[in-house]
Structure formats: structure tokens, C-alpha cells
Amino acid sequence: MRRGKESRRLMEDAQVLAVAGKYNKSPAQVLIRWALERGTSCLPKSANEGRIAANFQVLDWQLDPADTTTLSNLKHRERMVTGIMWLDARGPYKSVSELWNDEKEQAVGS
């Protein structure tokens, strides 16, 4: 997983945009709906009142199974929370790999 300037924005992905257009929804709404249908935690962030309201307009529709598959198969992967803040030499998590089994080793103080 990657994060930073080299990471392309998921909401600009052509497949996400196509699915959003099909439902006449924003890319953010489609991604929030997809996360909810997967049972994944989703923490939308916005300070814009209109976008906050739009983020709640995802409960009265569903994605077609084909669209769910399309979104699930996107190559883009990005973890917004790395978990570094939970690492402590005295605590239960001393490295990122103890939190996430798909991350490279990063120990306390790295």
C-alpha cells in the first residue's frame, strides 16, 4: 500500500468515475456505498457542508454485483492510517507488521 504524492487519487480513477456516472452519484458516494456493502469501516472527511450531506445519501440504493466486483478489483490500494501511532516498545504492538500482515516491517523508532 502506498501513501503520499505518488499515490493517485482513487476518486479520479476511470472505473470509479464510470460507476459513479452509471448511478448519477459522486465518486465519493460510490466508494462510501462500496465500503458499507463490504462491511468495511469508512471515515469520509469533509469540511464542506454540501459534501457532508451528500456523504449521507448512500443508504437508499445499492451497487450491482458487477459494479461491486469492478470496485473490489481496482489495483489502487491505500491505507489512510498506518498504525504507527499505536506502536510502543512497552505495548502489545512493537511493529507495523504486528498490526497489518501486508505491511513491511517498521519498528518503534524507525
pTM for the structure as a whole: 0.68
How would DSSP label each residue in the chain?
A: ---STTSPPGGG-HHHHHHHHHHT--HHHHHHHHHHHHT---------HHHHHHHTTTSS----HHHHHHHHT-S----S--SGGG--TTSS--BHHHH-TTSPP-BTT-
Asked if pLDDT for residue 8 goes beyond 60, the answer is no
pLDDT in tens, 42-95: 888 889 999 999 999 999 999 999 999 999 998 876 666 677 888 888 888 888
Instruction: Supply the pLDDT for residue 1.
Output: 42
Instruction: Supply the pLDDT for residue 6.
Output: 41
Share of the chain above pLDDT 90, in %: 48
